[in-house]
Amino acid sequence: MDDVDDCAVLSAPESRDVLRRVILPAAAASAVPQARPVVGFVGGQPGAGKTKVADLVQAALRQRGGTVRIGRDLYKAAHRHYAAALAADVRTAGAKVRPDTSSWQAAVEEYVRDQGLDAVVETALADLDDFRAASAAYRRSRHRIEVVALATPEAWSQLGILDRFLTEASEGAGGRFVSWTNHDSCATNMLPTLAVIEAEQLADRITVVTRDATVLYNNELIDGAWRRRPAADKAVARGRARAWTAQETAAFHHEIARAEVRVHRDVPGEDERLAVVRDARRAAALAEPVRRIAQPRRRAPGVDYHRLSTSEHRWVFDELIVPSYLNGIVTRDDPRAVYVMGQPGAGKLLAARMVRRAMRPGTTRLVGDNFKAQHPDYFPLLRDNPRSAGAAIRADYRAWFTWAEQYVRDRRGDVLIEAAPGSVEGLMASVPATDRAPAPLDEVFEVSTCRSRSPVGSLSCRTRPASCAGRVGHDAHRHP
């Protein structure tokens, strides 16, 4: 259709006819009037996963006798010009039919309020004035208003847009296009909308969930006051910025690779393929601040993601290690550094305790196992594969050990270091730095025994939680 721009909007009689014959019968087929109806708004930026969460909300409300699903995107297929608009340009197809789909959504919502039906509304929560108007209308119809907001990181929502586009394209349905500007503005504007919803009490309950429906925050109006301090916007912001686990990072990389394969298989045009590949690259860029860092491995699949992101790595040191192990430093004019060295199981722990009692008050004791324990993956790795647990997190705990040594040197404090260096170079990399601090290298204690204890001996038993496996000795031999 060459003149799709001129005729995409239906005439008023045709629009009303589609609403009466197609949209309302399909939307309200199973809904029944309720004495106290409920409307649930499921909010998030495009690609956040609203459809999946809305399905769960609808399933819960269905136990009351059925519900109406509401959303502009649900009505596009009923528009007789939509297919032609998609064929002409996927980037503008939605905008061309929006006047009709918006009017149909408004009509369906009015029908829900008039009949007292339960409803689930998918929305970006990006327009505060629209939500204020909707809240007032549902209040007048005595609906209970509940909001479910998704705290989906922008990287995952950008990837979600791409996945939906490729799925619809492979099914011959064109593909819904969402511009980067629209995606970013919806993600940004959602936060102030949530803040005002609580400030002005525009809803009776507000819940923040992840993409897999894990609840992060829940608040409810009770006798005209919120049950807890309003913080839905902060909960969404924290949920988006939360550092990813190794499993989440691996899943993201898998989906990126899968999307790139699907692009070349399902998207025929070169220009369209280039545009879609750009979306994949943008999703990868958005993940940089929160994803884990890949590490090469000699065994399949050749890579793992146990190395923390830069921000999480720094947070662990500043918020966990410094308060726990570096908070009692006493500044000295003649700071001293003492090393207790020996192979795993040699008895360094007992020797270090003896040496520590002979040193001055305020001596900081640095032990590699203490730093390992601060890594969020360490104890799960110990449980699942104790022989490789230390190697998987070595880059992080070695860096923390180095930072801790520097932290003590900068404050001119005494330090006692337990070490099992794997090489002379490994020891000398630390000793000269300590000696130049200008803390002098006071003494080096070498702990030797006729026979080392078992690799999973008493030190392991004393340092691990009761529910976790012990570390394997020769891996411990590699920490600083």
Distance CA 402, CA 142 (A): 62
What is residue 464's predicted lDDT score, i.e. its pLDDT?
37
Average pLDDT over residues 350-365: 92
User: Do 138 and 145 form a contact (C-beta atoms < 8 A)?
Assistant: yes
What pLDDT is attached to residue 88? 81
43: helix, strand or coil: strand
Which of 199, 219, 242 is the last residue in one of the domains? Answer: 242
Can you state the angle between helices 180-199 and 232-241, rounded to 10 degrees? 140
Position 471 confidence tier, pLDDT thresholds 50, 70, 90? low
Mean of pLDDT values over 59-79: 91
Strand ranges across the sheet with 144-150: 68-70, 119-123, 38-43, 144-150, 205-209, 215-222, 225-226
pLDDT at 428 over 90: no
Q: CA-based angle 296:298:300, to the nearest 5?
A: 90
Assess contact for 160 and 61: CB atoms under 8 A.
Answer: no
> Quick one: which of 245, 67, 40 has its CA closest to 148?
40
Q: Are residue 36 and residue 173 in the same domain, yes or no?
A: yes
* Residue 387 domain flag: yes
Name the residue with tokens 């001129």.
6
pLDDT in tens, 9-60: 899 999 999 999 999 999 888 889 999 999 999 999 999 999 999 999 999 9
Q: Structure tokens of 289?
A: 């601040």
Range list of H helices, 63-153: 82-88, 93-115, 128-140
Residue 335 and residue 413: Cα distance in Å, rounded?
5
pLDDT, position 66: 86
Is residue 269 one of the residues assigned to a domain? Answer: no
Cα–Cα distance measured from residue 395 to residue 397, given in angstroms and rounded to the nearest whole number: 6
Handedness of CA 6, 7, 9, 10 (dihedral sign): positive
Per-residue pLDDT of 305-341, as tens digits, reads 999 999 999 999 999 999 999 999 999 999 999 999 8
The percent of residues above 90 in pLDDT, for the chain, comes to: 64
* Residue 185 shares a structural domain with residue 332: no
- Asked, for residue 417, whether it belongs to a domain, the answer is yes
Q: What is the CATH number of the domain that holds 201?
A: 3.40.50.300
- Check pLDDT > 90 for residue 300: no
> Is the pLDDT score of 432 beyond 70?
no
* Cβ atoms of residues 342 and 429 within 8 Å: no
Looking at the fold, whether 131 and 43 belong to one and the same domain comes out as: yes
Select from 242, 257, 287 the last residue of a domain: 242
Domain limit, last residue, from 242, 259, 275: 242
Phi, psi of 289 (to 5 degrees): -70, -20
How many separate domains does the chain show? Answer: 2
- 60 and 207 housed in the same domain: yes
> What is the extent of the structural domain holding 405?
309-476
In this structure, is residue 210 part of a structural domain? yes
Please report the pLDDT score of residue 425 as a whole number.
64
Is the backbone peptide bond immediately before 440 cis, with ω within 30 degrees of 0?
A: no
Same domain assignment for residues 205 and 339:
no
Locate 151 and state its tokens: 């705290």
Mean pLDDT along residues 444-469 = 43
366 contacts 419 by C-beta, under 8 angstroms? no
In the numeric block, which tokens belong to residue 451?
């026979």
CA–CA gap between residue 189 and residue 181 (Å, rounded): 12
* Banded model confidence at residue 254, pLDDT cuts 50, 70, 90: very high
Rounded distance, CA 458 to CA 71, Å? 62
| Amino acid in position 453 | R
| Domain shared by 326 and 405, yes or no | yes
pLDDT digits (tens, 9 = 90+) for 276-288: 788 899 999 999 9
Please indicate, yes or no, whether residues 319 and 468 belong to a single structural domain of this protein.
yes
Torsion on CA atoms 266, 268, 273, 275, rounded to nearest 10: -110
Encode pLDDT of 83-141 as tens digits.
888 878 777 888 899 999 999 999 999 999 999 999 999 999 999 999 999 999 999 99
Mean pLDDT of 343-352: 85
Q: Give domain status of residue 46, yes or no.
A: yes
Residue 130 is assigned to a structural domain of this protein: yes
More confident residue, 105 or 454: 105
Is 432 inside any structural domain? yes
Residues 470, 323: one domain?
yes
Reply yes or no on whether the pLDDT at 451 is more than 90: no
Q: What is the pLDDT averaged over residues 155-181?
A: 84
Residue 149 lies in a domain: yes
